[in-house]
Structure formats: C-alpha cells, structure tokens
C-alpha cells in the first residue's frame, strides 16, 4: 500500500489528508447527532406534563436546557414565559424560532466541509492523474519504445483517480445520511416548539 502511495506522487497527499478529515468529521457528527443528545423521544411530553398547570422552577428549566438540543429549545420558551408572564404570542414564537435557527445551525456544523470533501476528492484524483500522465509522456524520448514502462506509469497515475473516488463516494453517502438526520431533527424541533407555544399560551398568566 505504501509503495502505491509513494508511486502515485505528491498529489496523493492532499487526498490522504481529505480522507483523514472526512473520517474525523463523520465520526464526530455521528456521535453528536445521536437521538438522545438531540431530540429524546419523551422529553417534550415530560415537559408539557411538568408545566400542565404552572411553569417549572428556574432550576428545573436550567436542567431541561442542559438535557439536549431539544431541551435548549423548550427551555428558551419556558424561560421567556417565566420572565414575562404576559408576553405576546408573537414574542413567544419569535423566541422559539430564533432559538431554533441557532440550534439548527449548530446541528449542521461540519456538513458543508463534508460536502466540499466529497466534491473535491474526485477533482484532486483527476489532477493527480493528469500530472502523472504529463510526467510519463514528458519522460518519453522520441526514439524510445518502452510500452511496458508506459503502461505501468499510466496505471500508477490512475491510482489517484481511483483513490479520489474511493474517498468521495463514502463521504457523499455519509453526508447525505447526516443531512437527512439533521433535516429530521430540525422538523422535530419545529413541531416541538409549536406544541410548546400552544401549551404555554393556554396557561393562565399570574398577576
């Protein structure tokens, strides 16, 4: 394997760097986008039950915020309602929407980098192949006749293209999967924020 990398020339090193970066980003996102860290299934119902007749305490709201990403969204609405019991519907929805946009941006972290790697890896592989082909044909003299050497050089040059595709295809699949996960979580946050807003607006405001 090392001999192939060495024979492929210097263009292979950016590809290896891309492969390491892609693997690190994929593992980080898979860990960070686990359901229990983003949107635990029972959290919304537990929060709605806890504030069925009155708002929870400030300590409870803080614990909810530290629980997960969904907890942060719910806690932002609860905190506003606690600080401003007579807040308008527009103010409450704006608070939830602005917090939701911030959280959605956090969930999308590193996804653009993955998409860039998936797009750039084949081009880097093609660049390595072109450079290899230029070096191969440039080394041929007008009177030389070395088909075996030429064929070997071409095969080595094509390793760059193959490596670029081997990096790009799994990265693209992982990006598409993570993108789908994030879209699902964002939709879940929007629905949860809407349910919380309707619930809080029905609560009687304390004088």
Q: Residue 147's domain spans which residues? A: 2-202
Structural domain includes residue 171:
yes
Whole-number Å distance between alpha carbons of 100 and 93? 10
Contact, 15 vs 167, CB < 8 A? Answer: yes
Is pLDDT of 23 > 90?
Answer: yes
Structural domain includes residue 86:
yes
Structural domain includes residue 25:
yes
User: For a pLDDT cut of 70, what percent of the chain falls above it?
Assistant: 85
Number of domains comprising the chain: 1
Whole-number Å distance between alpha carbons of 146 and 86? 87
pTM metric for this prediction: 0.85
Structural domain includes residue 65:
yes
* Residue 54: predicted pLDDT: 85
On the 0-12 / 13-18 / 19+ scale of CB atoms within 10 A, 107 is buried
| DSSP one-letter code for 205 | P
Neighbours of 69 (CB within 10 A): 20
- Which two tokens mark 140? 């041929």
Structural domain includes residue 207:
no
* Residue 128: predicted pLDDT: 81
Contact, 35 vs 59, CB < 8 A? Answer: no
For the stretch 51-95, pLDDT in tens is 888 888 889 999 999 999 999 999 999 999 988 888 888 999 999
Structural domain includes residue 155:
yes
């Amino acid at each position: 394997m090392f001999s192939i990398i060495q024979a492929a020339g210097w263009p292979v090193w950016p590809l290896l760097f891309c492969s390491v970066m892609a693997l690190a980003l994929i593992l980080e996102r898979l860990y960070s986008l686990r359901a229990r860290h983003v949107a635990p299934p029972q959290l919304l119902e537990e929060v709605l039950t806890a504030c069925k007749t009155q708002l929870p305490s400030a300590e409870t709201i803080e614990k909810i915020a530290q629980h997960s990403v969904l907890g942060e969204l719910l806690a932002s609405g609860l905190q506003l309602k606690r600080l401003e019991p007579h807040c308008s519907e527009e103010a409450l929805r704006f608070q939830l929407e602005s917090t939701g946009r911030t959280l959605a941006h956090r969930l999308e972290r590193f996804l653009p980098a993955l998409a860039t790697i998936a797009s750039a890896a084949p081009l880097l592989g093609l660049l390595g192949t072109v450079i290899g082909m230029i070096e191969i044909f440039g080394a041929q003299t007008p009177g030389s006749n070395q088909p075996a050497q030429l064929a070997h050089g071409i095969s080595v040059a094509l390793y760059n293209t193959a490596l670029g595709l081997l990096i790009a295809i799994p990265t693209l699949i992982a990006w598409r999967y993570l993108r789908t996960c994030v879209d699902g979580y964002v939709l879940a946050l929007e629905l949860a924020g809407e349910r919380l807003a309707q619930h809080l607006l029905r609560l009687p405001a304390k004088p």
